[in-house]
Amino acid sequence: MVVKSKATEVSVYRNSVSVTRVGSVSLPAGRSTIFIQGMSKTAKNDSFSVKFPTEIHAVNIQVVSYEETGEDLESEKIAKELSELNYNVETYSMLIDLRKKNGDFSSRKDISVEDQEKYLESLPEKLFGLRETINKIIDEKEKVSEKLKDAEAEEEKPLIMVELECEKEGEYPFILQYQETSGSWEPKYEVRFTGEGNPLDVYMKAKIMQSSGEDWKQVKVTLYTGNPSASQSIPSLPSVKLSIYEPPVERARGKGAMMDMAMVGGGQMMAAAASPMMGMNMMNMAMMQTAQATVSEEETMTAFELPDLRDLLSDTDGNIANLQSFKVDAKYNSLCIPCVKDTSFLTATITSADWPLPAANASIYLKEVFAGNVYVNPDSEEETFILSLGQDERLSVIRKELPCKTQDVFLKNQKKKSHEYAIKITNKSSESIKVLLKDTIPVSTDKTITVDATELSGGVINEENGVISWEVEVAAKSSEEIKLAYTITWPKDKQINRSTDYV
């Protein structure tokens, strides 16, 4: 006996899904065998469990194919029904052709003109009736074809064969659980900037995917941050061996970009591709609020229980769910790195501990205007990280290199080269702007090469990587100028090799 089950609850992990299905079966007293439907072709066959009331005893449980049940195939019954419908369409089509043929009286002399006229007058109505009947059959064919497709897909799925012993005849419920390999979810954020002095509004959402081939309708959904399919084996402790390292000969790299805007100092920041929407009158509109998940801390992971029952459709671009929202304090600056790019970026410096969420993509909104997408990845080893909120077009930055000066130091048999830069920041807006300016000077990795900063204009230098930071406030409709100068001294008979590291 084949019995059906219905999905009622799914637990979605980052790379798998645990599905819970329920059903009931009418059992006679004594021993009987049932075949439970419900598992998908992408389910892990060794992961299932079946639960019955305590008065039911399972003798044997295993995964089988539909052919092994000995039951008549539902698809064969439906295929016969479809064949009959095809025959009916063919028969009515022949009737239409026959009536049209009988309406040709050109070679017949035994029918009066009056009878011919009667036949021809009634012919359109009869043809219309036949055509209408064919259309109804065709509509029915489409429905039956879908039933056939569903039945064939169902018969390709594995079944759970259960041999049971039942003391008393009756209707008994059961639960089927298994692991599904074709489901997953990933976090996604919306970060909304409402103005300087205000915290960032962060909305955590989930994109849920599944391709089991079955739509899970009106099921309870819980999302887990972990992945039960990951290896749980305890790692081995390796021994550490030391040896002398012979460094390879450094080759001079071509002059190119010193660093990308995707990484700035110790904080990580993806440059938002600013593409603001056309201005619109928002009136008193507010973002639609939806129910959020119930959050609980499990032993090894965090669980998000979604409110209400929901549909998780198979093979879609993703089912979106709201998980939680919170506010996070941030220090806002306009970041300028003119030695790399003359564009300024509005940034938020956030304490890593205030963002206790996994790394994920985020959509950035500046006062309801979409500013771009970034990847948020707070580094737990750093106290803070920098988040880009999009390009800041209120500022213009010009970095000008002044003529270099090279001279010989005769007494020490050395050469000295002086570099000097002028950086001008202009605020085009009607409000003052706090600016975080970054630049860099070379760092010597050879004791015979000396780099001396001769002018920093109050900037703070990181001696390890040569990055200089200035925090300046540029008044409205005004400019600030920063000067940077340094010298490089090296043996006169040597050449300097330049290489670039991203910092």
List, as one string, the DSSP characters of 143-173: HHHHHHHHHHHHHTS-EEEEEEEESS-EEEE
pLDDT at res. 229? 54
pLDDT above 90 (res 260): no
Stretch 189-202: mean pLDDT: 90
How confident is residue 179, by pLDDT bands cut at 50, 70 and 90? very high
Domain 396-491 falls under CATH 2.60.40: yes
Question: Do 206 and 188 form a contact (C-beta atoms < 8 A)?
Answer: yes
- In angstroms, rounded to a whole number, what is the distance separating the alpha carbons of residues 336 and 442? 19
CB 202 within 8 A of CB 194: no
> Sign of dihedral through CA atoms 75, 79, 80, 82?
positive
Tokens 């007293």 belong to which residue?
29
Q: Which of 40-54, 207-221, 262-276, 401-415 has the highest mean pLDDT?
A: 207-221
Query: For residue 465, is pLDDT > 50?
Result: yes
pLDDT at 273 over 70: no
The pLDDT of residue 47: 86
Q: What percent of the chain has pLDDT over 70?
A: 85
Residue 277 has pLDDT above 60, yes or no: no
- DSSP secondary structure, 52-101, as one string: --TTEEEEEEEEE-GGGG-PPPHHHHHHHHHHHHHHHHHHHHHHHHHHHH
pLDDT of residue 79: 93
Quick one: which of 132, 105, 133 has its CA closest to 118? Answer: 105
Q: Residue 254: its pLDDT value, please? A: 37
CATH entry, 2-65+158-180, from 2.20.25, 2.60.40, 1.10.3470, 2.120.10: 2.60.40
User: Is pLDDT at 265 greater than 80 in this prediction?
Assistant: no
Confidence at 266, pLDDT banded by 50, 70, 90: very low
In this model, does residue 175 exceed pLDDT 60?
yes
Can you tell me which residue has the tokens 């609850």? Answer: 9
Supply 54's token pair: 């305590």
Given this model, what pLDDT does residue 486 score?
92
Element (H, E) at 284: none
Q: Which residues contact 113 (CB under 8 A, 6 or more apart)?
A: none
Angle at the Cα of 166 from the Cα atoms of 161 and 171, rounded to 5 degrees: 85
487 — alpha (psi -120 to 50), left (phi > 0) or beta? Answer: beta
The reply to whether the predicted model has a pTM over 0.85 is no
Torsion of CA 131, 134, 139, 144, to 10 degrees: 180
Percent helix, strand, coil in the chain (nearest 5)?
15, 45, 40
Helix 113-155 and helix 74-102, axial crossing angle in degrees, nearest 10? 170
H helix count then E strand count, the chain: 2, 30
pLDDT band at 258 (very low <50, low <70, confident <90, very high): very low
Residue 282: per-residue pLDDT: 38
397 forms beta bridges with 425
d(CA 62, CA 350): 54
Dist. CA 107–CA 247, nearest whole Å: 105
Q: In 3D, which of 68, 61, 67, 65 has the Cα closest to residue 177?
A: 61
pLDDT at 473 over 50: yes
DSSP 8-state assignment for residue 43: B
> pLDDT of 69-126, one tens digit each?
888 888 889 999 999 999 999 999 999 999 888 888 777 777 887 887 888 888 889 8
The reported pLDDT for the residue numbered 117 is 82
The CA distance from 9 to 5, in Å, is: 12
Question: What's the rounded Cα separation, in Å, for the pair 495 and 418?
Answer: 16
Q: Kindly provide the b/e burial profile for residues 93-114, where b requires at least 16 CB atoms within 10 angstroms of the residue's own CB.
A: eeebeeeeeeeeeeeeeeeeee
CA pair distance 383, 213, nearest whole angstrom: 45
Dist CA 192 CA 196 (whole Å)? 12
Assign 456 a pLDDT band (cuts: 50, 70, 90): very high
Provide the mean pLDDT of the chain: 83
Confidence of residue 494 (pLDDT cuts 50, 70, 90): confident
pLDDT at 238 over 90: no
Total residue count of the chain as it appears in this document? 503
d(CA 421, CA 457): 11
Q: pLDDT at position 20, please?
A: 95
